[in-house]
Every structure is written in structure tokens, then in C-alpha cells.
Structure 1
Amino acid sequence: MLDAVGALAERATLDALLRCCVREVAGPRGQVWRAGPYLMVHLAGALLRVRSAGGAALRFDGTAELRCGGEWRPLTVDELVELVAGELGGGNEEFAAQVSASREVTGRLVEARREAEPPGDPWLASEQALVFGHPFHPSPKAGGGAERLQYAPEAHARFPLRMFAVRDDVLHEGGDTRALDALGTAPPGYALLPAHPWQADLLKPHLAGPLAEGLLLDLGPGREPVVPTSSVRTVYEPNAEICLKFSLDVRITNCVRKNAWYELEGAVELNSRLDPVFADLAAAHPGTSRLREPGFRSVALGLPLLEGLGVIVREGPWRVCGPEVTPLLAGALAGHEVPHPCGERRAADPLAWWTAYVERVAPPVLDAYLRHGVVLEPHLQNVLIGVDRSGMPIEAVFRDLEGTKLVAGRHDLTGVPDRVAAALTYSAEAGWSRVVYCLMVNHLTEIAATVVEAARPHDPHALLADLWASAWKVLSVYADARGRPAPLASLLDGSPLPAKANLAVRWARAADKTAGYVTVPGPFPGGSR
């Protein structure tokens, strides 16, 4: 018998894996159908059911069940893992362990939160709210083992950085890194280089030589604790009001979170190119901004340390948002893990709140692609929503240049090293797929589902239809103003949407950059409104 924490972790893990199965496996194979309040799923010869109100977000009401011996009984995570393996033909001996590890970490995070003090800053509280992780990932919390809890945002961790000094002749940096110098004091002839303490421990074999030779100095812990944000490896330094994006040689969801050398160089290159783009977006769509990444710092001591100690400086959101505007992570607004300053306003007036939300987020993302050839990555962890004192969305702040790309052929990259240029670009088709997936499927679909759940209407289906009708009007007005470009016209006419296949890429044990898409129905049935 599971205790309350174990049951919560089991349910969260089961729901995430089942969503992946429905979206990526059973659905495309025609093995999903509705029967009254239930979603029925046929998987590897077994019949499953779960209560669901429908919608692309696949929110479940109650525990999934397995038909066994003529009766229905609760389905377990381990049983579902076996069914997935059976349906996919086996061949991945790591998968069960990854799902199990994710379930275990989820339970430990839930338990740790009960004992820890949450941050008083509402933005940081929202960054630390993603207890259950990606709703369409088979093992969203796998990776890192027991050490993860020491540095986990979900556990309200706070910790000092590990401070190094790098000798000037082996310093490697780009852009404006002056913010790093305010974090401590380096001896003459050296520059300060903060590191994530977890990464510093992982790099011990590579650090021993440079430390012995005096190329690096270990200055010990930093003066003040930092606060991890939702990505785990990016932290907020409250005194300097900056974010620091570190390398972390740990797989979190699909990726080992390391700053590759070309990503360090590319961040500075892209940062300067985005200045005029966002100036134009802000003029056309007031309330639009981004967190700039002005520089990076690392060491010229071979590739493992160049990448492993690379740190990217990022602006903090409180410096970017307007007065009396509170930034909140969009991912926190898509869940129910923690209360937030706009909860009451959203529940009381869901249609107005949603319309304001879509107006803030969608047009600048589409404009960036269509007018500027810039592919933003507006998934739930890359967007902050600025709300006013009443809780109404009035600003959208975009962040993380790693996922931002330039459409190939629309930008002059002369002089940019080939590897850096390749990492900075998408084809027009790949860029549009990424924009539509992040904006429509990963982001707005999840927000819409939570708006409906929070409002608790008598007819959830009717409210969801009203939300998407309102979104269609917002996007249609924008489309008309831009001459109704073909990709957007197709979206408004009800074309299917691309959804990232996280289960497939994990099952294949492939790199995240190779992840493909499955198609899911679009929210717009087509035709004029």
C-alpha cells in the first residue's frame, strides 16, 4: 500500500506516461476512442480506460484502469511500462529504470517541499512550482539521482556557488561579462568564474591539473546563496539581480544540459542581432520584451573545461518588467501546484483573462517568425507572463537564446564560424514546426486546459470552445494585419498541429535534437467565426 506521497508520485508518473502513449502510440494507430466519460485505450492486447473531459491536453479525472478478468482495476506504472514495451516491440532495457527513477524523484521532491521554506518572491515561487514536470514526457524527473535534491528548484533549494578564479592568459569570454565581477573578488591577474557546485564536483578529474598549475584558483563557496530556477542549471543571484546559466553534465528530461562551445559563442552573436528585432516587436506589441544574454565566460583549457565551466549571463526579470508588474513562469500558470497572484482573477473572469494572455504571447511570436525570420521557442519554461496588481496578463517576457534560431536564408551570417552558424539556424519549415508546437501545443493548449479547470464551469466543453474561439479572433486579426500569410492561414483553417514525440526519442535513446513530431488535431475547426 502506497502512502500519500507515493500515491501522488505514482499518479503523476502514470498520467504523464499514459498521455505519451495516447498521443504518440495508441492514437496514431487508431487504438483510442471515447466511451461516455472515458477515454478507451488499446495497448499491447490490453484494454485501458481513464476518465477525461477531452481536449488536446489530455487531463485525466481519476486513476487509469486496466480490464482484467472481466473487471476494471487500477493500472500501475509498472504495468503500463510493460504494455509500452510490448506495443513498441521491446529493445530498450533502460526505459523501465528511467520511468521508475522519475517516479522516485517526484516523490522525494513532494516530500522535500513540505519541509522547505518557499521563496517570498512570487516569480521565484513560480519557477519552483513544476513539481511533476513536463506533462507529455515519459520520465520528466529522471536524471541526477539523489544529488539532484540538493539543487532542485522544486525542493526550494538554495546554495552558494563554487567560485573559481581563472588566470587572464587562459580566460575565454565573449560579450559583456562585467556582472560576474560583482559576485566576488579575484586576485590580480585573474578573473572571477562562478560554477554550479554540482558541476564543479563532476569536473574534479579535469580540474586537478589546472588547479595544481595555478591556471585556476579554487576560491571556495560564494558569499550569498543563489536560487535555482525551473531548468535546474540556471540560477538567480538576488543581490546582482542576474541569472546565470551553467553547464551541467547531467541528463534532465531528454538532454545533457551542457553549454556547448558553439552555444556560448552563439548566445553573444544572437543577443546583438535580437536587439533591433525586439525593439520592433515591442513597438508593434506593447508589453513584449526578453531577457538579454549579454556575455559568457569560461576557460581556454581544452574542450571539457571550456564547455563544462562555461557560464552565460542573463538579465533578471524584475529589471525588465514594468513597475507594479509581477513576472510569473508560464509553466506555473499551466498547473495547480502552487497558488499565484492571478489565480482569483483567472477563475472569476476566465474568458477575459485568457484573451489578454493570448494577445500578449501569440502575436509577437508569430511576428518574430513571419516578419523577422526569428524562431522563438515559446514553450512553458521559456516565457514569463507579467501580470498587473489585479492578476491580468499585460506583458510577455521571452528568454533562453539556446532555443531561439534564425530562419536560414533570411540573415547574413558572413563571418560567423560555420559550426556556430549551423547551430543558430533552422530551415523555414523546421522553424515553423517549432514555433507552432511550442506556442500552440506545449503552451496555449496547457494554459487553456488549466483555465477551464480553475473556473469549474457547469459545461467545461462550452468554455473550452469559447476560449479557442477567442484565440481564433486574436490570431485572425493579427493575420489580416499581416496579409494573412499562408502558414498562419492554414493554422486558422484548422490544420493539424505538430507535437513533439518525447516518448519516441526516449525509447530510441536518441539525442533530443533528433526528436520528431506526431500530428494532433488543431483547436480551430476552420472557417470564419
Structure 2
Amino acid sequence: MGVCDTPAERALAEELASVRPSLSSAYLAALPGARAAVLARLWRGLVHEPLPWIAGRARGGDGISVRLTDGRRLHGPPSDPWATGTAVAAVELDGVPYDHPALLMAALKVPGGEPFAAELDHSAASLALSRTAPPPAGPPSEPWEWEQRSADGHPYHPTCRSRPGFSAADQLAYAPEHRPVVGLLLTPVTDATVRGSWPPQWRDGAAVLLPVHPWQAEHVLGGRSVLPGPAAHPLLSLRTLALDHRTHVKTALSARLTSQVRDISAYSVDHALATSELAVRVADRLDGRLHITRTLAAAGAGTPDLAAVLRESPYVHAGTDEQVVPVAELPGHFASHDHGPHQRPARIAEFARLALGVCLELLDLGVALEAHGQNLLAVLDRQGWPRRLVYRDLADIRISPARLARHGLPAPPMTGRLLEDDPVALRRKVLSCLITGALGPLAGSTAELGALLEAAIRDLHPTPDLSALRTEPLPVKALTLMRLSPAGDQWAHLPNPVPGAAER
């Protein structure tokens, strides 16, 4: 049985004792494993990211030693940057073992360490609470149930389950792994910006009724009038919910989940339809291998904390006897649907060929997808083989006007942050998301990822982007560095695992 060692752990334990005492024992029992899982993610960052206060690293038979610029030393077990599902029991700082990531970060006393330690505390406590959710009884009966099967969140991010501002009651009421039904609220906005055809039932005279997440209404929008809204099912991203089988709604949620505050900018509302129309038009060049979930409408009050986007559900793209599965859920799905000793690796290899081919072709045409495990979904046939892809959430893609023009495609009628012609920036967007969010978790180790990439790219059409993938270090977001120094995207470059890449 675990013991609560930190403020976030104690706070969740006290709240659970009040709102759901039946989960208290399970929560306490899950704490040691949750700490070890988050510590493994933090140790990955300390070993592999370009942190300015680390002077050197040395690998030995019993693990890895990290020398800090002030002379102190960390020592921990070997760390494979592409391993998933790992746990680290403890990391030593000058011989003192730490088994909690928040306590280790606090002891390091580095710039930005105090707020990051609080996030790590939330991450471990919330992960333990997530792991109390009962496992699904069987295969999904509704399409959104695919999004509610995993408790652990991002496989590499140390704040994989950090939900500051969310009480135990909030997590049980709104987090997808607990499989709740969420009652959205509607708030009237008389001067809303609207793009697309806003649903008539969400209008009241001159006012637009914006769907609002109930957490946002309580904690951010206090004082605004609200009306009861539709019931919805939370998806992997928590603030995006399924209204029914055909429509999803993305709400603003001014809470920091993993790296980002999940609001919706006025820029995103303004350009939502133009971005969608362009992405669909470019994807049409790929002979049906990629579906883009169309943006149906977007509306906002001019501030990032009050806006919403209506999207086509990715599940409308499933044909007869097909299912659409978020890529984050593919590792478990492939493992549980084997039909022979070689089926799982064969399915993974088929998905890798499909995903790399689609993403690199689309990149060459001029659209860089953020194809991580939440945004990318696979259409699987009756036997569980990947046949096509679906992509959703266009808010952070990048569009290259120069590449579009090269292929005879008109540039979209927009300016601003979505436009990018720098080939390095475009490649980083695609490769970091696809490999870190999809292929790395499916491979599960550096050796397996190298073999997977080598087989997947063997027959792809040669482009400068493919050449970079074959030969250059792999760009990944420096997730720990970004939380210690939150100045936007920052990068680590990991050794390319493709056999022979270093010699090319």
C-alpha cells in the first residue's frame, strides 16, 4: 500500500476520501507505480535532452552518471529514449536516492525547477488516480470508447497526467479514462466571430451560444450566464468531446495539460475553415490513403478562453466492417488482436509504411501534419490491418506556400503562424510528432524503431525530407527542457536508429 508523500498526493487522497471513498485504497496502491512511471519519463529527459546545467553524461555497466555544472552527480539506470512502459525505482543525487520525480526535481534546485516539481507532483498523483479506472470489459461498443481505454497518457512526457487545477472530483467527472458523460454548457455571445455554418439550435436571436466545458465555466468564466448544453463524451485530449457519432466539439480549457494551456486563439477561429479546406484539397492528392476531418464551424468571443470548434468525427470514415482507432491505442489493440506469432510486428510494419508514406508525401506537397497519437487515427479492416489514415485537429499544422506553388496548389488566404517555408522547421513538425507520438511507442525500443524505420522507408519516393530521415539525427521535442524553460518549442536531436545512418 502506498503512502502519500507530497502535497498533490495528499490533496487527491483527501478529496477522494470525501467524493469517492471506494477508490481510496486503489489510489494508494497505485501511487508507487505512478511515481516510478513518471520518474522514468523525467530520467529520460535528464539523460537525453540538452539541459544547460548538465555538463556531461557517462554510461557504465550499472547505468548512467550525469554530471551537473555545479559538480553534483546524478546516477540512474540505463535509459532507452524510445522505450515505453518503463519504470525507474530511484535516481541518486550525490548518493541520496529519490523515488519521487517531484522530490528529485526540487532537490536539483535548477532554474524553473520549483514550478516543474509541482507539475511532476500533479502528474504522479493524477496518474495514480487514472490507474484506478476499471479496465474496459470488452471491445468498444461506441467509437469514442477507443479514446477512453488508456490511463497513462503521453508515453514520454514527464507531465503525462499533470492536471493542475483539477480536483479528484473534476478528474472523475471529466477525464476520458473514467468514461464519464459530460454535460456541456452554452454561454451567449452577442458579438461572436463565426466561421462556417453555426448550428441553428445554438443561436438565440442575435446571440451565438458557445459550447463551454463545465470546468472552464466554473474556474475561468465565472460570472457569465450559462445554459444547459448537450451531453458529450470526452476524448483523448479531454477538452474535445464527441457530441454524437458524426460531430466532435473542441472547447477552450485554460488549464495546462502536459505542455500547453488548452485554449483556442482568435487566429485559430478566423482561419479554421480555410485551413480545413486546404488540407482536404491537398490530401485528395493521396489517392484515398488519408482522410482529413473537416472543420464544420468555429466561433469565439475574441479571447482564447471562450471559443469552440465543431469538427467532423473521424469515425465517419469507417466503412463496413472497419473501425477507426487512435494511434495512441494501437499498441494495445495490436497486442490483443494477434492471429499468429508474426501478426503484431507485421501490422506495425504496415502501419509504419502507410504513416511515413502519407506524412512525407503530404509534407512534400506543402502540408506538415502534427501526426501524434491523438491527432492521427488508423482505419483498420476486419482482421485488424491498417488500410487508411484519418487526421484531426488542424490548429497546429504548418503550411508551406512555396511547396504548394511547386505542385500547382494555390496558397491559402491567410497569414500568420501556420505559414512556414523553412524545410528544417517543417521536417521537425512532421518527424518529431510522428516518431515520438506514433512509431516510437509502437516500436518500444531504439533497436526496434531502427528496424521499423528502415523497412518502412525502403520503397518510399525519394525526397529531401526522406533523405534527412535516413541520415540525420531525429528531432524530438525536449519535453523536460520545455517545462523548465517555457519559451515555446525546444528540441533535442537523438541518434538516428536507422542502421548505418551515422556512416552516411
Q: TM-score range by the shorter chain?
A: 0.7 to 0.9
Q: Distance in 2 between matches of 1:376 and 1:185?
A: 31
Which stretch has the larger CA shift, 150-159 or 73-82? Answer: 73-82
1:266 aligns with 2:271: yes
SS, match of residue 525 in structure 1: coil
Q: What number of residue pairs does the alignment pair up?
A: 467
SS, match of residue 133 in structure 1: coil
Q: Distance in 1 between matches of 2:75 and 2:340?
A: 34
Q: Distance in 2 between matches of 1:397 and 1:417?
A: 24
SS, match of residue 436 in structure 1: helix
1:124 aligns with 2:144: yes
Out of 310, 314, 334, which is 1:313 matched to?
310
| Residue 69 to residue 103, structure 1, CA distance change in 2 (3 Å) | closer
Q: Distance in 1 between matches of 2:252 and 2:349?
A: 37
1:394 aligns with 2:387: yes
1:100 aligns with 2:102: no
Cα displacement (A) at 1:314: 0.8
Question: Residue type of the partner of 1:292?
Answer: R
SS, match of residue 11 in structure 1: helix
SS, match of residue 282 in structure 2: helix
| Aligned residue in 2 for 1:214 | none
Residue-by-residue CA offset, 1:316-354 (whole Å, 9 max, x unaligned):
1221222211111111224x5xx6786324864233212
Cα displacement (A) at 1:244: 0.4
Residue-by-residue CA offset, 1:416-450 (whole Å, 9 max, x unaligned):
454xx33443532211111121122332122111x
| Residue 171 to residue 139, structure 1, CA distance change in 2 (3 Å) | closer
| Aligned residue in 2 for 1:221 | 228
| Aligned residue in 1 for 2:212 | 195
| Residue 431 to residue 257, structure 1, CA distance change in 2 (3 Å) | same
| Aligned residue in 1 for 2:17 | none
| Residue 151 to residue 118, structure 1, CA distance change in 2 (3 Å) | farther
Question: Residue type of the partner of 1:255?
Answer: Q
- Where does structure 1 lack aligned partners over 5 or more consecutive residues? 212-217, 453-460
Cα displacement (A) at 1:504: 0.8
Question: Residue type of the partner of 1:517?
Answer: W
Q: Distance in 2 between matches of 1:415 and 1:279?
A: 16
| Aligned residue in 1 for 2:498 | 524
Cα displacement (A) at 1:226: 0.5
| Aligned residue in 2 for 1:24 | 49
CA contact (8 A) 1:26 1:42 kept: no
Out of 78, 81, 89, which is 2:105 matched to?
81
SS, match of residue 284 in structure 2: helix
CA contact (8 A) 1:116 1:155 kept: no
CA contact (8 A) 2:401 2:411 kept: no
SS, match of residue 367 in structure 1: helix
| Aligned residue in 1 for 2:423 | 428
1:232 aligns with 2:254: no
Task: Indicate the RMSD between aligned Cα atoms, in angstroms.
Answer: 3.3
Q: Distance in 1 between matches of 2:299 and 2:138?
A: 31
Out of 123, 126, 137, which is 2:157 matched to?
137
For 1:222-371, list aligned pairs within 5 A. Answer: 222-223=229-230, 225-238=231-244, 241-281=246-286, 283=287, 286-299=288-301, 303-304=302-303, 307-334=304-331, 343-345=337-339, 348-370=342-364
- Normalising to structure 1: TM-score of the pair? 0.79
Cα displacement (A) at 1:133: 1.9
Cα displacement (A) at 1:525: 2.4
Q: Distance in 2 between matches of 1:471 and 1:403?
A: 25
- Normalising to structure 2: TM-score of the pair? 0.82
SS, match of residue 268 in structure 1: helix
| Residue 471 to residue 78, structure 1, CA distance change in 2 (3 Å) | closer
CA contact (8 A) 1:235 1:243 kept: yes
Residue-by-residue CA offset, 1:42-95 (whole Å, 9 max, x unaligned):
35534533366x4x313475543446998x977333453245x25xx4453212
CA contact (8 A) 1:287 1:396 kept: yes
